[in-house]
Amino acid sequence: MKTSLIRIFVLVTITFGFVSCNDFLKEDPNGQLMSNNAFTQASDLDGAVNVLYRQVSRSTFGITQFIQAIMGDDLSTHRASNKAGIREWDLYGVSTGNDRLLWCWQDKWLVIKAANFIINGASNTPNVTEEDLNYALNQAHFWRAWAYYYLVRTFGPLPMVTSNEVDFSIGLSTVSDIFNMIVTDLQAAENLPANYTDTPRSMNGINIVANSAAAKAMLSNVYLTMAGWPLNLGTEYYEKAAAKALEVITGVENGTYKYALYENYADIHSVAENKKNKECILGIYYSNSWGDGDSSESARGCINDFPDCTGGWCDTRAEIGFWVNFPEGPRKDATYPVVTYNSGDGKAYPWWSESLPDANRYPYFGKSKFTNDGTEYDIYKSLGSQCNGWVDQTHQMIRLSEVYLWYAEALGRSGQTNAKAIELLNIVRNRADGNGVKSDASINRYSLSMTASELAEAAYNEHGWEIAGWLWGAIDCRYNDMQRMDRVQDHFNTRVQNPTYVIPGAGGITRQEPNAPTGSWSESLMYVPYPEQDVNRNAALNISLADKLNLIK
Amino acid sequence: MEKKPKNLMIMKISIPFLIIFLFSSMSLNGAKYDSGTRGISNDLISQQNRSVVCVVTDAQGPVVGANVMVKGTTNGSITDANGRVSLSNIPSGAILVVSFVGYLTQEISLGNKRSISVILKEDTKVLDEVVVIGYGTVRKSDLTGSISSISSEKIKNLPQGSISNILQGKAAGINITSTSGAGNMNIRVRGITSLNKSSEPLWVVDGVIGGTVGNFYDIENIEVLKDASATSIYGAQGANGVILVTTKKPKEGTKITFDARYGVKNMRKKPDLLSPYEYARAYNEVNGANSISVDDLAAYKNGTKGIDWVNLMTQTGFSQNYNLNISGGNQKTKYSISGWVGDTKGQWISNTARDYNVKATLDTNITPWLEFSGYMYDGLTKQHNSTSQGQFVDVLEYSPCMELQNESGIYNLDPYGSIGSNPYASVKAEWTDYRSSTMTMFGNLKFKIIDGLTFSTEGLYTQIHNWNRHFRSASYQPSGTSQASNYEEQYYNWRNIDNLTYDKTLGDHHLIAMGVLELTKHKFSSLNASSTGLVNEATTYWDLASAGSYSISNSFSNSSMASVFGRLIYSYKGKYLFTGTMRADAPSQFKDKYKWGYFPSIAIGWNMHEERFINKDVINQLKLRASAGTIGNCGVGAYSTYSTLSRDYVSYGTATKYWGYWPESNSNPDLHWEKTVQYDLGFDLGVLNNKVNLSADFYLKNTTDLLFQKELPDYNGGGTVWTNLGKLQNKGMEFTLNVVPFVTKNITWESTLTAAYNRNTVKDLGGDDYIIPDASRGGLYSGGLFILQVGKPVGSFYLQRWAGFNDEGANLYYNQDGTTTTGNNNDNRVITGKSVPDWLFGWNNTLTYRNWDFNVLFRATSNYDRLNISRYIETCQTGASRFISSREGYYRSWDKVSDKSHALFPSLTNANNQYVPGSTQWLEKAAFIRCQNLSVGYQIPKKLTKYAAIHLSLSAENLFVISKYKGLDPETVSEANTNTYDTTFGLDRGSFPMPTTYSFIVRLEF
């Protein structure tokens, strides 16, 4: 017995006892790609650009990412409901506890991270052509500039992040330094091709990704902003802005760029033209085809804008003053729905009607009118019966008509006028009035004899009307125009006074804005605070709004 | 190419063993064995006194080997196979002392009797009972560690269905929070020791980590290892305490037990929500008269329209469980087979569950020097739908003024209140079927090499297969799209333990020395396929390819650990006790230089009552214990130290996914152990014939190098990285007082009071003064609700201070300087309140009267808070709720109360009002006293029924709660974020309350 027992003991010990620990404890990460696998094959370049576009689409899909647009004189929000956080923006008092503040900060930094990944690593890719490499790098430069441009106007001074090394103590760069970086990035992006041919870069006859025209157009707008508040670089930069806009306009005229204005303003945001929009120089394209359960590739739409009595959330609402001053015509009708549907009784009324709930007796924007089944939205029906809150409406960031107006305004502010600028201004306005895309002395509203400042102001106003209420990713919303012209305070003071408006065509009905800011204006209100969590992580961000103003130049 | 681990060999050996012996046990059952006739002392020298025959039995029958002595003499002997002993030379008036290990010693006055029968009673509190400790057992008198123990006697008549339930309120130092009415538990032994990694204790079943308890009825006892001396044998996995579950071992002689249990569950307290008419009126008052039409208003008033969401979505839950246990065998081979069937209808409508499991156990002596024990377990759970807290939030805030479906049968969204999904659609137009099957095989071979030296090798193999199938109809909501998915995952775990133990008594010295090698491997793989836009919904989730688009994903991970460890237990004269343990662990997750972790501990004990200077008649037991040791935590996932790329896609507006990789996640190659050093000082005191027993422990736990998921700056892309950071301390004391106030022939009352105090303090945060663990919360909770601050406990709330209302009825909040503002400003937050109680109490009483038994158990906690977000969303117009839903939210709002000082909530029409969920307005004291259990049972003896002993009992759980907390339950919480769990614990946002359960139990013992 003893012998067999010892034998078994030895056997068992050998069998179970001696396992090579090194092999046994080695991790075998099947299915994982290690970071040193990055940019090791040619397709990684396209892959990284895809991820970059993913970050862009996620950072533009809803209103929260562009909530600063609410501070413009075109937009406001519901007086009650769940809109306390949005009202803080509307009333120029964004607190550190604001529920929207974080997202509009975070998402843009993810774009920058995805861009920096390409900028710092793409050149390691083996066996790729110079052309493919530059395409990836310049896309990255373009979108990094886009993200910084958005952030610097909303938050002011920023950490200048150009690598993906985590840095808990990076300091704040001046607004001026950030703008210079944006310009450098966009100058690189100007080397992007003018047109693409392969899917997915080009589909339905249009460019889907950013091209050189988008870079030039954005650079023009960046110069326009640098010329105004807060850098106030003046004439030189207005001239640069005009010149850059003109490059795009000339490119369109000579056929380098295949853009054109729609005859009817209403077509711009139509369902039919959604994915082949010829006026859109830079768009972000969404897909609703994965259904409501997978909204990852779709965007928010009318549910944000439409009043709650229609079935929307009424996150945004139009300001009465802007509505009153908005020139009548097809552009106005396409911007503001002519009726408000009331689920309470199933009927539709003009917005000022007493038959609507008191809280909804305000104009609202209807540029997003997409249903889920691809048909045109019917404003005489409830929202819930037509869509679920997710749409595939393209978020148009830059349109050709905007470039026309930037050109005209920049030229005017540089103290110059010319026939071309006034012609372009008239084309935009004539189309708005329903007179087609043309400049014709018999119908033109702007005369060739207008002064430079009249030209600038007219273009400024037309741009406001052209993009009114559009906050879905526009690189230059109405608020941005007001900010660079340092006119936010004028609007603030108007809102404090809270004037009473007589509604034209409403039989003498008068209305007031329900929300009014209090206190007095300070320039520091031009920026919003950094979100709490990054202030906690990096003491350099722990500065007051007033101190931000010292970090401009 | 994956190498096949050599240790799989053990499976190849133990499986056939198991099967062979399972069958052979049937024939072995009848085998005869030689019980060995014991010598009977027959002193025939002094003959003038009589002889007496004594028969010793217990509840099972004759007791072999019981010691029968004449008191005050050396005259005595032991009983034979029939429980008989014959003693001669007995003086008249003699007293017989009958004793046997594990039974109460009895003294019987003989009188003039010539024969006597003695029925021995089991001693449940004998000092020499054996206690299961990790990887072995020890006599309770030699135990030096701090262990709470609960035996099956204490639990067999309780109705609860889970092991965690059993422990609730019965073991000092273990805090079990019922986090949801659906049965989820949060278990902490001696406080929170880890910030971001689970502080859940380690579960060990029959000595095997990851072993399987067949079912509730199979439990023999449960032990909770608390101090370092007890837990350090589990090294890298023991830092959060260890719960050892021992299942019933098969015993000799055939025994059949059958249990049937029926339970009914109801909500103890319902939310007080606005009726449809009240809601409609309130809505029109706030949003304008035409918001809800006059016609509808009338319909809501007369009840022809309107929805009571709570009634619609909940129902009386019902459950029935049956268990059959058959065991038998002889001295050489024993077996048991236990089967269980459970059927549950949940409180959430459409929720059903079925459970089946079976476990077969075999213990056999193959040769005199080789023992085999093993079991096979197979379990299956099926579940249809379940309650998620998100859905309960929707129930609480969905408008009662709406139609469930439109004219096309599509489920409507809430037009006025919630922006969430229709809760009814989530069970009617959508369903999830879940199935989980577990197979476990375990085998242990024990070689007795020489006297006292044993070698055992054991293998455990567990395979878990879960699948989850989901279908959603397009009618789920307006403009909805149909969806279906099928998810499957598999876990393969195996473990091999080789244990060499030397257990020897030499004179006054008793020694147990042990050396162990343990190897563990886990593998996981999953596969998911989902599709949207089904061609025809009739196929539900069974034809995924017949759809507009699909997506697939799969994943894999593996991890392993090698451990070497030893333990020395030594006692001298049963008075002076020593235990020393050393364990070394190497998990695959850590890089080479951090791979091995070493976990030593020592403990000493002194059985003072064995000393001469203690009068053992007064102080029956007095033991002093002291221990110190180090335990670890390596709970990070596989590949945590690798820098990996994440994939992501974009569609460019098409139906195609264009993929790519980017460095979304962050890694830390220097990640290593979290270490806890624990000191424990304790004593066990027994007086008044052990009718009063008091155990007390005082401990200090210092945890360093905390595994912490550090949030990175958003300007670097955010996200988190695992780091070792900071220090945490837990200090506390535990008392268990067991009293038997009276025992008479018919009545026994036993009462156990447990009390435990724990104070948790953050000692260091890697240089930071504070960290907001949930800073990345978005939306209304932006900036976070909790704080980790040096000097404060984990789970401290960080909130703005609510200051009532201003003259327009807007919420006011205190600024830091004491002035007030209507603004929502995170700069104004202060540390206030905490989510973990100071004291936990449990008071358990058992009263038996003849054939009746009664049990009542109370649980209580002191000084902790909950953030009542449920109340917030019911009374606010913000975030996902656009309108109020509760009655108090309307009737106690600023607008409605005439005396404004009675307002609880702000004006609903003030546009400047700010609602702040992270404010003290929602922080409530949650201390409670809960009647956890009240039960009554009646035993019908076997001699009456002839065929079986029948025990009937009726019980009520969670009968009442005394608490100032205004929510549905002071204990349950929402959010089970595994990464920030303890640091952000304490929100009640639609947490499903603990139900009141009534149960009826029948147990038959044949």
User: Quick one: pLDDT at residue A294?
Assistant: 65
pLDDT at B991: 84
Tell me the C-alpha distance between A260 and A283, whole Å: 15
Chain A residues 397-456 with CB within 8 Å of chain B: none
Span A386-398, average pLDDT: 89
- Of the residues B12, B472, B479, the best mutation for testing chain A's interface (the one with the most A CB atoms within 10 Å of its CB) is B479
Is the Cβ pair B661, A531 closer than 8 Å? Answer: no
At B32, the pLDDT band (50, 70, 90 cuts) reads very low
Confidence class for position B128, pLDDT limits 50, 70, 90 = low
Fill in the amino acid letter for A71: M
| pLDDT score for A6 | 58
Using CB atoms, pick whichever of B449, B713, B776 lies closest to residue A9: B449
- Please tell me the least confidently modeled range out of A131-135, A274-278, B285-289: B285-289
Whether ipTM exceeds 0.90? yes
User: Please, what is the average pLDDT of chain B?
Assistant: 86
In chain B, what percentage of residues exceed pLDDT 90?
51
- Cβ A402 vs Cβ A431: under 8 Å: no
Q: State pLDDT tens for residues B960-976.
A: 999 999 999 999 888 65
Please write the tens of the pLDDT for every residue from A159-207. Answer: 999 998 999 999 999 999 999 999 999 999 999 999 999 999 999 999 9
State how far residue A505 is from chain B, nearest Cα, in angstroms: 23
Between residues 341 and 400 of chain A, which touch chain B (CB distance below 8 Å)?
Answer: 342-345, 355-361, 371-373, 384-388, 392, 394
User: Nearest chain A Cα to B480, which residue?
Assistant: A292
Give the sign of the dihedral formed by CA A426, CA A432, CA A433, CA A436.
positive
Task: Please indicate whether, in this complex, the C-beta atoms of B877 and A12 are within 8 angstroms of each other.
Answer: no
- Residues of chain A contacting residue B800, judged by C-beta atoms under 8 Å apart: 97
- A97–B909 CB contact, under 8 Å: no
Could you tell me if A110 lies within 8 Å of chain B, comparing CB atoms? yes
Q: What is the mean pLDDT of chain A?
A: 92
pLDDT band of residue B29 (cuts 50, 70, 90) is very low
Q: Which residue of A has its CA nearest to B1?
A: A28
Closest CA to B155 of B242, B285, B245: B245
A28 touches chain B (CB under 8 A): yes
How many angstroms separate the CA of residue B330 from the nearest CA in chain A?
Answer: 24
For an interface test with A, give the residue of B447, B554, B652 to mutate (most A CBs within 10 A). B652
Between chain A and chain B, the number of residue pairs with CB atoms below 8 A apart is 366
B475: helix, strand or coil: helix
Nearest to B832 by CA among B866, B876, B874: B866
Quick one: DSSP state of residue B796?
A: E
Q: What is the mean pLDDT of residues A492-496?
A: 96
Can you give the pLDDT at residue B341? 94
The dihedral built from the CA positions of residue B702, B708, B713 and B716, taken in this order, carries a sign that is positive
- Is residue A23 predicted with pLDDT exceeding 80? no
Distance CA B77, CA B616 (A): 26
The whole-angstrom separation of Cα A316 and Cα A307 is 8
Among A20-24, B144-148, B804-808, which is the least confidently predicted range?
A20-24
Chain A residues close to B652, C-beta within 8 Å: 53, 200, 203, 208-209, 285
For B809-858, write each residue's pLDDT tens digit: 999 999 999 999 988 888 899 999 999 999 999 999 999 998 899 999 99
User: How far apart (Å, rounded) are the C-alpha atoms in residues B410 and B406?
Assistant: 5
Q: Rounded mean pLDDT of A207-226? A: 98
pTM of the model: 0.84
Cβ partners under 8 Å of residue B54, min gap 6: B68, B79, B84, B85, B86, B87, B96, B98, B115, B116, B117, B118
Please determine, for residue A356, whether its predicted confidence score (pLDDT) is greater than 70.
yes
* C-beta of residue A514 within 8 angstroms of C-beta of residue A79: yes
A540 Cβ under 8 Å from any chain B Cβ: no
Q: Which residue has the higher pLDDT, A27 or B41?
A: A27
Taking the C-alpha atoms of residue B798 and residue B916, their distance in angstroms, rounded to an integer, is 12
CA separation (Å) from B537 to A212, B133, B401, B423, B546? Answer: 47, 56, 30, 20, 10
Q: Does A340 touch chain B (CB under 8 A)?
A: no
B176 pLDDT higher than 70:
yes
Which residues in chain A have Cβ-Cβ distances shorter than 8 Å to B781?
99
A111, closest residue in chain B (CA to CA)? B717
pLDDT confidence band for B14 (50 / 70 / 90) = very low
Is the predicted pLDDT of residue B951 greater than 70, yes or no?
yes
Residue B946 DSSP class: S
Q: Which among A54, A275, A345 has the least Cβ separation from residue B293?
A: A345
Q: How many helices (H) and strands (E) does chain A have?
A: 19, 15
Interface contact flag, B290 A81, Cβ < 8 Å:
no
Q: What pLDDT is recorded for position A335?
A: 96
Minimum Cα–Cα distance from A34: chain B residue: B644
Q: Which of residues 79-98 of A touch B (CB under 8 A)?
A: 79-85, 87-88, 93, 95-98
Cα B335 to Cα B324, B363, B905, distances in angstroms: 14, 6, 65
Residues of A in contact with B879 (CB under 8 A): 82, 99
Q: What is the pLDDT of residue B17?
A: 42
Cβ-nearest to B480 among A13, A48, A292: A292
What are the angstrom distances between the C-alpha of B288 and each of A352, B658, B859, B875, B909?
A: 13, 48, 49, 19, 10
pLDDT digits (tens, 9 = 90+) for B213-240: 767 778 888 888 888 888 888 888 888 8
pLDDT higher than 70, residue B25? no
CA angle A284, A285, A288 (to 5 degrees): 140
pLDDT for B34 beyond 50: no
> Would the CB atoms of A38 and B825 count as touching at under 8 Å?
no
- Rounded Cα gap, residues B711 and B702, in angstroms: 24
Angle (CA) B975-B981-B986 rounded to 5° is 60
Mean pLDDT of all residues in B783-787 = 89
Helices (H), B246-338: 276-287, 294-302, 309-313
At A18, the amino acid letter reads F
For residue B589, which of B638, B522, B658, B633 has the smallest C-alpha distance?
A: B638
Spell out which residues of chain A touch residue B912, defining contact as CB-CB under 8 Å: 87, 515
pLDDT bin (cut points 50, 70, 90) of residue B185 is: confident
Q: Which of A2, A13, A20, A54 to mutate to test the interface with B (most CBs of B within 10 A)?
A: A54
Cβ–Cβ gap B643/A343 under 8 Å: no
**Amino acid present at B463:** Q
Minimal C-alpha gap between B925 and chain A (Å):
25
Nearest CA to A65 out of A271, A312, A229, A304 is that of A304
Minimal Cα–Cα distance from B442 to chain A, Å?
16
b/e code B862-889 from CB counts within 10 Å (16+ = b): eebbbbbbbbbbbbbbbbbbbbbbbbbb
How many angstroms separate the CA of residue B495 from the nearest CA in chain A? 11
pLDDT digits (tens, 9 = 90+) for B233-269: 888 888 888 888 888 888 888 889 999 999 999 999 9
Nearest alpha carbon to residue B643 among A158, A37, A284, A433: A37
Q: What's the Cα-to-Cα distance from B58 to each of B100, B101, B487, rounded to whole Å?
A: 11, 12, 55
Q: Which residue of B has its CA nearest to A383?
A: B478
The mean pLDDT value for B200-214 works out to 79
Asked if residue B9 has pLDDT above 70, the reply is no
Q: pLDDT tens digits, residue range B859-890? A: 999 999 999 999 999 999 888 888 999 999 99
Answer whether B782 sits within 8 Å of A117, measured CB to CB.
Answer: no
SS3 A226: helix
Report yes or no: B222 and B244 within 8 Å, Cβ to Cβ: yes
- The pLDDT of residue B60: 66
Q: Is the pLDDT of residue B905 over 60?
A: yes
> Residue B220: its pLDDT value, please?
84
| A357–B782 C-beta distance less than 8 A | no
Q: Which of B295, B401, B559, B650 to mutate to test the interface with A (most CBs of A within 10 A)?
A: B650
> Is the model's pLDDT at A9 over the cut of 80?
no
Inter-chain touch A311–B496, beta carbons under 8 Å: no
Instruction: Say if CB B745 and CB B764 are below 8 A apart.
Output: no
B652/A203 CB distance under 8 A: yes
A205, A276 contact by CB (below 8 A): yes
* Nearest CA distance, A354 vs chain B (angstrom): 9
d(CA B969, CA B181): 9
In angstroms, the separation between the Cα of residue B315 and the nearest Cα of chain A is 28
Distance of residue B485 Cα from the nearest chain A Cα, in angstroms = 11
Interhelix angle A452-466/A400-413, nearest 10 degrees: 150
Q: Tell me B303's DSSP state.
A: T
Tell me the one-letter amino acid at A109.
Answer: W
Which residues of chain A neighbour B882 with C-beta distances below 8 Å? Answer: 81-82, 308, 313
pLDDT at B157: 66
In angstroms, the separation between the Cα of residue B798 and the nearest Cα of chain A is 12
Report the pLDDT value the prediction gives residue B2, as an integer from 0 to 100.
Answer: 39
E strand intervals along B875-927? 923-925
Taking CB atoms and an 8 Å cutoff, what residues of chain B touch A358? 287-289
Give the closest of B287, B714, B827 to A359, CB-based: B287
Q: Nearest-CA neighbor of B873 among B300, B414, B331? A: B414
Beta-bridge partner residues of B376: B360, B441
Q: Is A520 exposed, middle or buried (0-12, 13-18, 19+ CB in 10 A)?
A: exposed
